[in-house]
Amino acid sequence: MADQSARRAWRTRLLGSIQGRLQLAAFSAVFLGFSFASSASIWLNYRNLIHQHHRHATRMSTLMMSCLAESAHEQGGLDQHDALMTPELAQPCLDEYSGSDFFFWIQNKNGSLFTAKSQVVDVPQALIQAADRVIGSQVSNGVDADHLKNEGYEAEVVNLGDEQFVVHQHEIAGMGSKVWTAENVTAAVMDDKNFFGLLVGVWGTILGLTALGVGLLVSRIVRPLLQLNSMADQVKADNLNRLRIELDDAPVELDQLAQAFNRVLDRLSDAWDHQRQFVDAVSHELRTPLTILSGYLKRALRRGDNLTDQQRKAIETAQEEAARITRMISDLLDLARSDNGRLAVSLDQICAMEVVQETSAVAQTSLSRRIKLGMPDQFKVCILANRDRLKQVLLNLLENAAKYSAPDSCITIELKLDGSMLLISVIDQGVGIPAEDLDKIFDRFYRSPNALDQQGSGLGLSVVQLLVEAMDGSIAVTSEVGAGTTFVLAFPTCVPIPLPVTE
């Protein structure tokens, strides 16, 4: 399994990126080019070796033929059409031109053979038999000598043990006799093999250096792409108007891409600025009339002794909706201020237990829910936070807990120490959040699919996270569908500052 994962990771690294594909393509092209050039060089070298020995054998055969012609002339001029080559005619020429690495023998049409004397050179019988099998098999298949020459069979390589010979056959004009030549090319073939080994070594070294050069060159080529990707990854809402992509030594195409990307950033920055200005302006414009409306509704309820139950219920509903919209506008304003970098949260030393007790009392009245506090008696732990903002965070979490749990279920707030951190947990027994949605619930306007039947804007938890982090805290969540959800706020504790004593 690990091997498969490693192979998959290597395949992805090699083929899943432009750099890997460029390196593979360049290296493949170099490898194929070197392989073709080396193979062609080896083939041509071997071909030249055979041709060189063929020319030498042809020259020696011509001398042998001339020697035989002179010998026949001196001994009375045979009727060459009917005569056979005799030892008296052939022996002097065979002895003269045969040597340790170059053998001659003559074969009459009746099958008789003549070789040089053994005192001069000993022609291996195995070589004669092997040569006859190689070249004789070509002739026996109905191919004449001239055709063999035209087809490239004028020279054949015969292997005899560890030695190699280039064998030729020439027919004496007007006679049935043939002159065979065999040259020992073992040393030349060994030199060719040594050359091949040297070529492979040089080829491997050059290929390795080329692969290294290709890797460095491709890395340099794709460096602007990696730089573009890195800078694009840094783009955020708060730096749209500042961040611009500048590439060093980039090709024209990538430079044009970077400029186009910067133009997109300019348009996004303008659109984002307009959106923030719009949200800020609309939020301020709506907050004033809503505050006035909410005040009139509260006054109507206080002085409405003559209101019927239905009228009172309608005014209370209107007041709740006005409060809900006011909270939504406040959330939008907080988010807009955060985006503009103008969200300022002053931190003071506060007693966490007091804030939790006050918030719990307000929530029990407004939500008509039972809230249980879990903390030791006289839990005097201080944190640096903003009292009003911490209340806002806790009320938001309590409202969420009440919204997504049964009316008769209990909501619990627990306080405990974990080293130097104070943990404030808000625990409900509601519908829970699916595991795949836990990392999205703090996104703006996101709502879990199992909570769409409840009214909400999807901004509450975003504002909660924003405010908690503005107070140097953190928030985490755990949940189980059908069992409930727990939100945990973590704040660093601080040593209480004693109040000055007044006399």
pLDDT the model gives residue 51: 76
Tell me the per-residue pLDDT of 320-377, one tens digit each, with 9 for 90 and over.
777 777 777 777 777 766 766 666 778 889 888 889 988 888 888 777 788 888 887 6
pLDDT the model gives residue 174: 59
Residue 215 pLDDT exceeds 60? yes
pLDDT the model gives residue 143: 39
Distance, CA of 184 to CA of 102 (rounded, Å):
6
The mean pLDDT value of the chain amounts to 76
Same domain, 332 and 370: no
pLDDT the model gives residue 450: 63
The residue from 308, 340, 372 where one domain ends is 340
490 or 171: whose pLDDT is higher? 490
Same domain, 260 and 391: no
Residue 247 pLDDT exceeds 60? yes
Most confident of 42-56, 108-122, 382-396: 382-396
Which residue do the tokens 């080293």 mark?
Answer: 419
CB of 200 closer than 8 Å to CB of 189? no
Report the range of poorest mean pLDDT among 140-149, 292-301, 344-353, 470-479: 140-149
Same domain, 374 and 466: yes
pLDDT the model gives residue 207: 78
- Which segments of 234-308 does DSSP mark as H helices, in order? 252-303
The residue from 324, 340, 356 where one domain ends is 340
C-alpha distances in Å from residue 404, one per residue of 322, 438, 450, 454: 21, 15, 10, 8
Same domain, 462 and 411: yes
Same domain, 269 and 383: no
Residue 227 maps to a domain: no
C-alpha distances in Å from residue 145, one per residue of 9, 103, 148, 151, 156: 62, 20, 5, 10, 13
pLDDT the model gives residue 425: 93
Give the pair of three-digit tokens for residue 147: 């055709």
- Percent share of the chain, pLDDT over 90: 5
Same domain, 32 and 144: yes
- Percent share of the chain, pLDDT over 70: 81
Residue 237 maps to a domain: no
Residue 468 maps to a domain: yes
Tell me the per-residue pLDDT of 454-501, one tens digit each, with 9 for 90 and over.
566 677 788 888 889 888 899 999 998 888 899 999 999 886 555 444
Residue 209 maps to a domain: no
pLDDT the model gives residue 2: 54
Q: What number is the average pLDDT over the span 42-57?
A: 75
Same domain, 306 and 381: no
Residue 158, sorted as left (phi over 0), alpha (psi -120 to 50) or beta, turns out to be beta
Report the range of poorest mean pLDDT among 36-45, 106-115, 158-167, 275-284: 275-284
Q: What number is the average pLDDT over the span 218-245?
A: 76
Q: Which residues contact 19 (CB under 8 A, 6 or more apart)?
A: 218, 219, 222
Residue 219 pLDDT exceeds 70? yes
Q: What CATH number is given to the structural domain containing 107?
A: 3.30.450.20
Task: Give the chain's domain count.
Answer: 3
Residue 144 pLDDT exceeds 50? no
CA 482 to chain CA centroid, Å, is 41
Most confident of 181-185, 332-336, 376-380, 446-450: 181-185
Residue 243 maps to a domain: no
Residues in the chain: 503
Same domain, 103 and 28: yes
The residue from 148, 174, 193 where one domain ends is 193
Same domain, 420 and 317: no
Q: 153 falls in which pLDDT band (50, 70, 90)?
A: very low
Domain limits at 363? 348-494
pLDDT the model gives residue 278: 75
Q: What CATH number is given to the structural domain containing 328?
A: 1.10.287.130
Same domain, 125 and 26: yes
pLDDT the model gives residue 462: 84
167 closest CA partner among 147, 150, 153, 148: 153
Same domain, 12 and 112: yes
Residue 222 maps to a domain: no
Q: What CATH number is given to the structural domain containing 357?
A: 3.30.565.10
Residue 135 maps to a domain: yes
Report the range of poorest mean pLDDT among 213-227, 306-320, 449-463: 449-463
* CB contact burial 438-447 (16+ within 10 A = b; e otherwise): eeebbeeeeb
Q: 72 falls in which pLDDT band (50, 70, 90)?
A: low
Q: What is the pTM of this model?
A: 0.48
Residue 231 pLDDT exceeds 70? yes
Residue 240 maps to a domain: no
Tell me the per-residue pLDDT of 361-384, one tens digit each, with 9 for 90 and over.
888 877 778 888 888 766 778 898
Same domain, 484 and 385: yes
